[in-house]
């Protein structure tokens, strides 16, 4: 079992008001991880609050990301890592987003370069009034493992 705790800081770096807010926020962040012979499971949990004095756009957001990865061998794996969020400043039924789903992936080599390829889909079984019905993720991740 591996765990960690530390701060999370939100910086006002967005370039469009649809992409974020002009606020500083901070709060605690926790990770718990268990690595088995064929599985990796655990969760990330964080809560941030507005740290400025303005009351026009208060921030209070929870993020919970449970994750489960099952390795089949030959680089193939199944994964589920939904990002569950709660916006405590939103009206009652618009506070939560709860996705359900998962995907598959494979670690391959392009020459000497290790690359993680993954496709996942999540349906939002609980969502804000104007929130998306689903989320599709395509990941191409270049990996640079450290030598032992």
Query: Please, how many CA atoms are within 13 Å of residue 42, restricted to the half-sphere of its CB?
Result: 14
User: Measured between alpha carbons, how far is 82 from 129 in angstroms, rounded to an integer?
Assistant: 19
Listed by start position, the domains of the chain span: 2-143
SS3 52: coil
Band of pLDDT at residue 148, cut at 50, 70 and 90: low
Q: Is the pLDDT reported for residue 108 higher than 80?
A: yes
Please say whether the beta carbons of 91 and 113 come within 8 A: no
Q: With bands split at pLDDT 50, 70 and 90, how would you rate the model's confidence at 54?
A: low
0.75 exceeded by the pTM? yes
With a cut of 90, say whether residue 140 has pLDDT above it. Answer: yes
Give the three-class secondary structure for 54: coil
């Amino acid at each position: 079992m591996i765990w960690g705790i530390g701060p999370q800081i939100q910086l006002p770096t967005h370039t469009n008001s649809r992409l974020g807010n002009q606020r500083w926020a901070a709060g605690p962040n926790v990770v718990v991880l268990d690595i088995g012979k064929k599985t990796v499971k655990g969760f990330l949990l964080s809560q941030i609050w507005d740290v400025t004095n303005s009351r026009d756009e208060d921030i209070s957001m929870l993020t919970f990301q449970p994750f489960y990865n099952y390795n089949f061998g030959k680089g193939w794996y199944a994964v589920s890592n939904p990002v569950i969020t709660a916006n405590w400043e939103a009206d009652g039924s618009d506070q939560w987003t709860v996705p359900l789903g998962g995907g598959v992936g494979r670690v391959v080599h392009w020459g000497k370069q290790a690359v993680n390829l993954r496709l996942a889909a999540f349906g939002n079984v609980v969502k804000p009034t104007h929130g998306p019905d689903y989320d599709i993720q395509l990941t191409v991740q270049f990996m640079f493992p450290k030598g032992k």
